[in-house]
Amino acid sequence: MLTDLLLARNIRNGDIKAYEQVFRHYYTPLLYCATGITGRSDVAEEIIQDLFYSIWRDRELLDVKSSLKGYLFTSVKNSSLQFCRREKLGERYSVYAMDDSKSDPDPLNDLEYKEMESFIYGALARMPLRRAQIFKMHRFDGKKYSEIADAFSLSVKSIEAEMTKAIRQLREEIEKQ
């Protein structure tokens, strides 16, 4: 526990060796945890990469109270569960949208779906073009960050940063409504 607190403090102070040590020590167990929850190793890898990217990016704000291991596993569990919820919601809407055989359509659901779709596309139209394209490729086409990075000749970190900005902008627009 004391070692965890020292490592967290060193990372907060910008010690790349401490960061690498934590990454090497926890990457595989965290990957197993995320894969167990999501059922998809590619998604699990992305969750772990996002976690470690955000830890380093926001290292000055890293606030581990007792256990770095607990902090990491809790973060991975929460991100994995959030992915599962988004996936379930996406499946529900895609199944609904593709189900033309409904004998008794629900006009309220149709209206809600169209409003949500209109809102998302409107928000994407207000984003910078490249950011909107990156968001669409990742969220709508299911492309991985590395595939998008290759398509745009950018680094994976640049793609991650653009996705973060796109999601932040969508959240801000949702909160305004």
Picking from 83, 80, 36, 75, the residue whose alpha carbon sits closest to that of residue 53 is 75
- 5-35 per-residue burial string, b: 16 or more CB within 10 A, e: under 16: eebbebbbeeeeebbeebbeebbeebbebbb
Q: What is the CATH number of the domain that holds 157?
A: 1.10.10.10
The pLDDT mean for the chain works out to: 83
d(CA 153, CA 147): 10
d(CA 13, CA 175): 34
pLDDT in tens, 44-99: 899 999 999 999 998 888 888 878 888 899 999 998 888 888 777 666 555 555 55
Total count of domains within the chain: 2
Q: Are residues 79 and 116 in the same domain?
A: no
Q: Are residues 116 and 97 in the same domain?
A: no
CB 80 within 8 A of CB 44: yes
Query: Residue 135 CB: number of other CB atoms within 10 A?
Result: 22
Model confidence band, residue 1 (pLDDT cutoffs 50, 70, 90): low
Q: What is the dihedral of CA 21, 77, 169, 86, to 10 degrees?
A: 140
- pTM of the complete model: 0.50
Residue 148 belongs to domain spanning? 106-177
Burial class (CB in 10 A: 0-12, 13-18, 19+), 40: middle
Q: Are residues 75 and 120 in the same domain?
A: no
Domain boundary among 75, 101, 127: 101
Does position 105 have pLDDT exceeding 70, yes or no?
Answer: no
